[in-house]
Structure 1
Amino acid sequence: MWNSVLQKSYLHTSVHLLKKAAHNLKGKSTADQRWIVRQLNDPFVKAAHVHNYRCRSAFKLLEIDDKYKLLKPGFNVIDCGAAPGAWSQIAVHRVNSTGANGEFPRGTVVGIDLLRIAPLDGAHFLSNHDITDPVTHAKLLELLPGAQAHVIMSDMAPNASGFKEMDHEKLITMSLSLIDLAEKVLQTGGSLICKYWDGALAHQLQQKLSAVFRDVRTVKPKASRKESSELFFLARSYRKNVMV
């Protein structure tokens, strides 16, 4: 599946992108030039253009969900750190939140980010909202049918400071806050997926997750660049009201 998708994407977009490359590189710093070249050569960037996904990260969620079947029609989903909205795009389709498929139940997708998120049919976006804020929690409870979610997902990350250990610690702290969110809105048996960067504190996050989820495992989708320390914890079968 993945090879066919990427091959089609390459054929449709490579010529167009390569024509733009020379112009895009003019006047750029060395670091910017490296980034542009990497983007131009990235098959997932090309595939995202073809499939009209807001960014390449859509393929991370697609691969994870294809394997573990987290998103089902009728499910309520919270997308944390949703901007620009690629994961929400996938969720909208898979939980049928637009109601486009009348044969299946209609789900709900709520995206949250400190940044503005452009509107997306089938999703409720809480732009300029903090997932740790009680005001945000109250709005979630209003938007989610039954005031509960089946899945919490997070591809959020702090702005890079250039200090690897500091950034790692910040992301772990952000991911730990998802456990507090789960206590408020995740239903028993629900799932959570969150990004983390490998490092000394990763085991603390894993231990906290394992205390309230029956199954916790590490996954690294093909769309996560090989050189990146990016990984995801996939936590399933939430045990509500367990003391952490």
Structure 2
Amino acid sequence: MWRQCVQRSCFHFSSCLMKKSRTPAEQRWLQRQLRDPYVKASHQNNFRCRSAFKLLEIDDQFRLLQPGHSVVDCGAAPGAWSQVAVQRVNSAGTDPELPRGTVVGIDLLNIPPLDGARLLSCHDVTDPATQAKLLELLPAGRAHVILSDMAPNASGFRDMDHEKLITMCLSLIDLAEKILQPSGSLLCKYWDGALAGTLQGQLCGAFGSVRSLKPHASRKDSAERYFLARMYRKPVR
């Protein structure tokens, strides 16, 4: 389905964008955007950014998001993954014949309002106060799925950025202990590198199944990958 959306869509940037004086780096970025079918598809399908197609592809294959599920979207801004989650778990009640789920989005940045999602803008997911709010918003204080497309601001030093993102992903295992229900799932973005094995090992200690994914919508020249961890079991301390 996600591939059909990409193939059908057609979006044209304003010609003034091309005429305006830009640096070479800006021109390269703009040309990449113009050629990117997922950028075009995101406009055509009213998604807030192209990353929606990464989650759509993964969910089409693994069926993480089911009607009635409760989902926590970490690093949610601008809200594309939350948009997908709202559709898939029926949290806006679009289909009255299906169970109605819950979507909670969290980000340090502002997240524009989204029908069907409860949004915690300007919140740190590692903050105990934020986690207390999550327990209040989630039915029975538990989530079926934790999603994370969050990443640190790039410093330009690859190893440093890699380490920061791995640390952020490790914090999600602590979050899972507080809010994820038994047999629940965690999907998190990481940048491939020396510490990826450490993260994978920690995930394997808490989940029955862990696999690394590179969706088609993830650019080939990017170190970006995703760990999909399923069948959560609370680790023994």
Instruction: Tell me what 1:28 maps to.
Output: 22
Tell me whether 1:219 sits opposite 2:213 in the alignment: yes
Q: CA deviation at 1:20?
A: 4.5
Tell me whether 1:243 sits opposite 2:232 in the alignment: no
Give matches, 1:10-159, under 5 Å: 10=10, 13=11, 16-17=12-13, 19-23=15-19, 26-159=20-153
TM-score (norm 1): 0.95
What secondary structure does 2:6 align onto? Answer: helix
In structure 2, stretches of 5+ residues that fail to align are none
Query: CA contact under 8 A between 1:18 and 1:40: conserved in structure 2?
Result: no
Q: CA deviation at 1:4?
A: 2.8
Instruction: Tell me what 1:4 maps to.
Output: 4
Q: CA deviation at 1:243?
A: 2.4
Q: Distance in 1 between matches of 2:145 and 2:57?
A: 16
Instruction: Tell me what 2:195 maps to.
Output: 201
TM-score (norm 2): 0.97
Q: CA deviation at 1:7?
A: 2.2
* Cα distance per residue 1:172-230 (max 9 Å; x no partner): 00000000000000000000000000000000000000001000000110000000010
Q: CA deviation at 1:30?
A: 1.2
Q: Distance in 1 between matches of 2:179 and 2:105?
A: 14
Instruction: Tell me what 2:170 maps to.
Output: 176
Q: Distance in 1 between matches of 2:150 and 2:192?
A: 15
* Cα distance per residue 1:137-173 (max 9 Å; x no partner): 0000000011000000000000000000000000000
For 1:221, give the aligned amino acid.
P
Query: CA contact under 8 A between 1:21 and 1:40: conserved in structure 2?
Result: no
Q: CA RMSD in A?
A: 1.1
> Which of 149, 154, 163 is the matching residue for 1:160?
154
For 2:6, give the aligned amino acid.
L
Q: Distance in 2 between matches of 1:164 and 1:89?
A: 30
Query: CA contact under 8 A between 2:2 and 2:53: conserved in structure 1?
Result: no
What secondary structure does 2:166 align onto? Answer: helix
Task: Report the CA distance shift for 1:204/1:117 in structure 2 as closer, same or farther (over 3 A).
Answer: same
For 1:17, give the aligned amino acid.
F
Q: CA deviation at 1:27?
A: 2.1
Instruction: Tell me what 2:226 maps to.
Output: 232
Q: Distance in 2 between matches of 1:137 and 1:29?
A: 43
Q: Distance in 1 between matches of 2:162 and 2:194?
A: 8
What secondary structure does 1:45 align onto? Answer: helix
With 98-107 and 45-54 compared, the bigger mean Cα shift is at 98-107
For 2:236, give the aligned amino acid.
M
